[in-house]
Amino acid sequence: MLQNMFEHKPTLSFEVFPPKKDGDFESAFQVMDALGKLSPDFISVTYGAGGSRAGKTVEIASYIQNTLGIDAVAHMTCVGSRKEDLLRIAGELKRHNISHCLALRGDRPKDMSDEQFASRDFAHANDMMDFLREHTDLHMAGACYPEKHFESFSMESDLNHLKRKQEAGAEFFISQLFFDNDYYYSFLEKAARKGITVPFCAGIMPITSAGQLGTTVTLSGSSIPKALANLIAAYGDNKEDMRKAGIDYAIRQIRDLQENGVNDIHIYAMNKPKTTAEIVAAIYR
Ligand code: FAD
């Protein structure tokens, strides 16, 4: 359970996304069932930046919390939300017995006009956290970026803003995915020097197809080390070999983290229980 993190016990957590279509809930629940069998300490559920699919996030988070009995962390973004939207969602989470959210700014949706963007209620995640802390009893986590957020001109400035999120009530941070552990170690050192004391979860995404690089990874801004680029060059054309090699890379990455004292691991499970199970079996055997 999530509490383990605050007691300095090693934690394993997953990120999942809600179904895109209403009719797909049954298969999404089956995915959650399979991931739940791996006994994660918590599962976080993503949220569309514009907030249009908030209900789906709540529904999946509720299934995780109430049917599976696993702590759920519901992502919430504020870029496209008014204060009243956040309060409504916070109320829904409370009704569903969900006490944790990952409070995010989100990215500006393509269809958001300049006017809407200029008049948004919250400029940054820490503003949203201030508001949620004042008006709700939600526990909050925040996002962090081992290679800095793409809008920040320096790591120093990004870390100053990260500290503001801690001051606004973030109880822990979940990291952007990264493939080179050295970035993470250096980031943790700098964050500690800034006085950031809450726990961090290391975000690991298994690359099981070359196509992932063109989408999720590019958007994340994370750098691709030579070892991973070589692996994709060697196996990218063969689906099963690429899957095995990507899983193996993630396992080695996690083992190295554990050997270096990083014990809170957050797997970007991408709703793939089989891949996730293979990684979990290898690292906790
Ligand atoms: P912020 O903390 O607001 O930071 C954004 C930028 O502004 C940074 O460069 C920061 O340094 C700067 N900044 C922060 N505060 C201030 C301030 N007070 N003054 C000036 N500058 C400031 N997106 C989704 O749409 N849905 C999801 O479910 C989702 N899940 C995510 C999960 C994780 C673990 C991560 C790492 C990201 C996720 N994202 C998600 C993406 C996220 O919304 C984007 O990365 C977004 O660009 C930044 O969100 P944030 O909460 O980190 O923003």
Contacts of 17 (CB under 8 A, 6+ apart): 45, 46, 270, 271
Contact 45, 71 (CB under 8 A): no
Q: pLDDT confidence of 24, banded at 50, 70, 90? A: confident
Q: Rounded to whole angstroms, how far apart are CA atoms 81 and 273?
A: 32
Q: pLDDT confidence of 52, banded at 50, 70, 90? A: low
| Residue appearing with tokens 């990507």 | 246
Does residue 5 fall inside a structural domain?
no
**Annotated catalytic sites, by residue?**
15
Ligand 1 centre distance from Cα of residue 143 (Å): 6
What tokens were used for 95? 């009704």
Is the CB of residue 152 below 6 angstroms from any atom belonging to ligand 1?
A: yes
pLDDT at 61 over 90: yes
Atom of ligand 1 minimally distant from the CA of 152: 9
Burial of residue 282 (number of CB atoms within 10 Å: 0-12, 13-18, 19+): middle
Is the CB of residue 125 below 6 angstroms from any atom belonging to ligand 1?
A: yes
What does pLDDT average to over the chain? 94
Q: pLDDT confidence of 23, banded at 50, 70, 90? A: confident
Tens digit of each residue's pLDDT (9 = 90 or more) over 173-197: 999 999 999 999 999 999 999 999 9
- Domain around 157: 11-283
Does residue 6 fall inside a structural domain?
no
- Domain containing residue 183: CATH number: 3.20.20.220
Q: How many domains, in total, are found in the chain? A: 1
Does residue 2 fall inside a structural domain?
no
Contact 38, 276 (CB under 8 A): yes
Q: pLDDT confidence of 166, banded at 50, 70, 90? A: very high
Nearest to 46 by CA among 269, 200, 279: 269
Q: Which of 161, 187, 194, 196 to mutate to test the pocket of ligand 1 (most atoms within 8 A of CB)?
A: 161
